[in-house]
């Protein structure tokens, strides 16, 4: 009898466990329908970049040197022949179609510097893409292919996304097209260091994102795009469960502006800030450490005109709470210039509300002016005069700073920010002087360009092919 009862209890326990397992599995999401509905709108983005004749020659010389060094070995090293001035693959990533007429979102870093962009659709058709606009601070780019009747994704609302929510990514990790990975949102509003400035407050997930996923969509369970996969933290080159996506709300704002004008107009406040530590919160009369402590106010900036002062702690901007310093430029960057907003500060331990009109960043103005003024000289160079401090530091009377490059200048590997001291041994002090000299330079011949870059100076060669 005891054995029967024991067996009965064990059977009941087993049935209960099986029931709990079935219940648990029944509550897990099924992504099959989501993938079937959206995979046709996911694209592979591959780019090519021109190799200059000079670079090809340098690589050929290097190969010849290496073969000489290995001349006494039993066999020659397996060095590939250097490519000529034809295209070479430079990058690959992902993207997704947002409009049936061929508009595609991807990352800026996927297509940055590309001479040619190829889009491969789910049905293996290939199209050459045009860059409508690309924005480095948000790491977003808008492309266009010549096609109609394309499948597209639905854009969701990233502000409604919650930590713990299931999300799914579709992309081309390591070139493996239309790979699917799922996970959960592990943090909202993650700030990451950026050379371009902090304008994105990222969605952090544990989805297995790898190189090649960049630019691909992050879906919620409704099949809506809530983010654009952008970055990973990794110690081995692959996923370790820390991936970051740009909120789709940021993308909507950026893409709308790129589609309208090709340029993103960001708001500007004109302050320096820092996080509020425990000691600073006590010193400035806050109950808990939060907000952005203002440590600099630029003259004639929107912040100064609104009455923001040194030592103010901005705790809310446009009705968005500011938890830490990096939240401030993110919310400022979402607004277009001339927008009127409320700014909540704590000053001398007391709350105040100020009204502020958003300004425009100087580099945005320069970018707009550049887009309106085409490069006219044969070199493909647009420049501005170097300031007095730079000229004194370099010991020259005249010099120019490179603003943009294309054509011959791009092939010569000149870059924005380079300081041109001489061109064909002639000093240059303005765009006008450069244009005039460019008209007189001989074609199909290597010409010397003395450039200051970083802490050193070096000669480049530029060739006008006509």
**Could you list the mean pLDDT of each consecutive 10-residue stretch along the chain, which spans 466 residues?**
57 59 64 95 89 59 62 54 51 92 95 91 93 91 94 95 96 87 92 62 91 94 96 74 91 90 85 90 91 92 94 95 87 87 94 93 52 62 87 88 87 89 89 85 88 86 84
Given 94, 112, 144, the domain boundary residue is 144
CATH number, domain containing residue 327: 2.30.42.10
Q: Which token pair is 361? A: 């960043």
**Pair (201, 250) in one structural domain:** yes
CATH number, domain containing residue 169: 2.40.10.10
Residues 53 and 115: their CA atoms lie apart, in Å, by 15
Residues 428 and 405: their CA atoms lie apart, in Å, by 16
Q: Is residue 311 part of a domain?
A: yes
SS3 content of the chain, % helix, strand, coil (to 5): 25, 35, 40
pLDDT at 370: 47
Q: Is residue 25 part of a domain?
A: no
Contacts of 449 (CB under 8 A, 6+ apart): 412, 414, 420, 422, 423, 424, 459, 460, 461, 462
Q: Using only C-alpha atoms, what is the Rg of the chain?
A: 28
Residue 451's beta-bridge partner residues? 420, 458
Q: Which token pair is 324? A: 């830490």
For residues 153 and 119, is the Cβ–Cβ distance under 8 A? Answer: no
Q: Among residues 128, 168, 158, 113, which one has the least CA distance to residue 43?
A: 128
**Pairing label, strands 154-155, 224-232:** parallel
Element at 61 (helix H, strand E) = helix 53-69
**Pairing label, strands 426-427, 419-423:** antiparallel
**Pair (289, 354) in one structural domain:** yes
Q: Which token pair is 453? A: 């870059």
φ, ψ of residue 97 to 5 degrees: the values are -85, 130
Residue 141's beta-bridge partner residues? 106, 134
pLDDT at 130: 92
Given 261, 277, 294, the domain boundary residue is 261
Per the structure, the complete domain to which residue 190 belongs is given by 154-261
Contacts of 372 (CB under 8 A, 6+ apart): none
**Pair (382, 446) in one structural domain:** yes
pLDDT at 1: 45
**Pair (136, 166) in one structural domain:** no
Q: Is residue 109 part of a domain?
A: yes
Catalytic residue among 214, 230, 239, 411: 214
Q: Is residue 134 part of a domain?
A: yes
**Pair (335, 306) in one structural domain:** yes
Q: Is residue 3 part of a domain?
A: no
**Pair (130, 82) in one structural domain:** yes
> In terms of C-beta distances under 8 Å and separation of at least 24 residues, what long-range contacts does 174-179 make, across chains too?
174/210, 174/211, 174/212, 175/44, 175/92, 175/212, 176/212, 177/44, 177/120, 178/39, 178/42, 178/122
Given 111, 144, 177, the domain boundary residue is 144
Catalytic residue among 109, 138, 201, 249: 109
CA distances from 50 to 114, 115, 116, 169, 408 (A): 8, 6, 9, 32, 12
**Pair (65, 161) in one structural domain:** no
Q: Which token pair is 365? A: 């103005």
What is the number of residues in the chain? Answer: 466
Q: How many domains are contained in the chain?
A: 4
Burial of 252 (0-12, 13-18, 19+ CB in 10 A): middle
Residue 202's beta-bridge partner residues? 190
Q: 179 an active-site residue?
A: no
DSSP state of 83: P
pLDDT at 39: 94
- The beta-strand segments (E) located in 191-223 are 202-205, 217-219
Q: Among residues 231, 267, 232, 228, which one has the least CA distance to residue 251?
A: 228
Q: Is residue 199 part of a domain?
A: yes
Q: 139 an active-site residue?
A: yes
**Pair (124, 54) in one structural domain:** yes
pLDDT at 431: 85
**Pair (253, 158) in one structural domain:** yes
**Pair (162, 255) in one structural domain:** yes
**Pair (103, 54) in one structural domain:** yes
Residue 358's beta-bridge partner residues? none
**Pair (167, 247) in one structural domain:** yes
- Residue 69: CA atoms inside 13 Å, Cβ hemisphere, count? 8
Catalytic residue among 135, 139, 249, 312: 139
Q: 108 an active-site residue?
A: no
Residues 154 and 251: their CA atoms lie apart, in Å, by 13
Q: Is residue 325 part of a domain?
A: yes
Q: Is residue 17 part of a domain?
A: no
């Amino acid at each position: 009898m005891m054995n029967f009862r024991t067996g009965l209890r064990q059977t009941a326990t087993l049935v209960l466990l099986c029931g709990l397992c079935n219940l648990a599995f029944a509550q897990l999401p099924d992504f099959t329908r989501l993938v079937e509905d959206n995979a046709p709108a996911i694209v592979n983005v591959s780019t090519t970049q021109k190799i200059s004749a000079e670079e090809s020659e340098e690589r050929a010389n290097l190969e010849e040197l290496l073969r000489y060094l290995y001349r006494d070995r039993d066999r020659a090293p397996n060095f590939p022949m250097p490519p000529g001035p034809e295209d070479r693959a430079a990058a690959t990533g992902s993207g997704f179609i947002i409009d049936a007429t061929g508009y595609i979102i991807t990352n800026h870093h996927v297509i940055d510097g590309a001479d040619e962009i190829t889009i491969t659709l789910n049905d293996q058709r290939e199209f050459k893409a045009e860059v409508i606009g690309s924005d480095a601070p948000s790491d977003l780019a808008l492309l266009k292919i010549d096609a109609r009747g394309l499948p597209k994704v639905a854009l969701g609302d990233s502000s409604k996304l919650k930590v713990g929510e299931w999300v799914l990514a579709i992309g081309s990790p390591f070139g493996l097209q239309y790979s699917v990975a799922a996970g959960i949102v592990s943090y909202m509003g993650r700030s990451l260091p950026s050379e371009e400035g902090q304008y994105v407050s990222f969605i952090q997930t544990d989805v297995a994102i790898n190189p090649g996923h960049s630019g691909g969509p992050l879906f919620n369970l409704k099949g809506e795009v809530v983010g654009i996969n952008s970055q990973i933290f990794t110690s081995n080159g692959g996923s370790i469960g820390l991936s970051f996506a740009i909120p789709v709300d940021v993308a909507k704002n950026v893409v709308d502006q790129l589609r309208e004008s090709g340029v993103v107009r960001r708001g500007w406040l004109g302050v320096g800030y820092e996080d509020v530590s425990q000691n600073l919160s006590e010193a400035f009369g806050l109950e808990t450490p939060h907000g952005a402590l203002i440590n600099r106010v630029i003259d004639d900036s929107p912040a100064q005109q609104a009455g923001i002062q040194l030592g103010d702690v901005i705790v809310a901007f446009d009705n968005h709470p500011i938890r830490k310093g990096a939240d401030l430029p993110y919310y400022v960057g979402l607004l277009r210039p001339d927008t009127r907003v409320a700014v909540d500060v704590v000053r001398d331990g007391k709350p105040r509300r100020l009204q502020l009109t958003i300004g425009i960043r100087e580099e945005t103005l320069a970018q707009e002016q550049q887009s309106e003024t085409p490069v006219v000289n044969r070199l493909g160079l647009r420049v501005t005069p170097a300031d007095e401090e730079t000229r004194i530091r370099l010991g020259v009377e005249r010099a120019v700073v490179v603003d943009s490059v294309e054509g011959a200048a791009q092939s010569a590997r000149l870059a924005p920010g380079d300081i041109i001291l001489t061109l064909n041994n002639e000093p240059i002090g303005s765009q006008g002087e450069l244009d005039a000299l460019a008209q007189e330079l001989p074609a199909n011949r290597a010409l010397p360009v003395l450039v200051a870059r970083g802490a050193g100076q070096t000669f480049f060669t530029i060739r006008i092919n006509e």
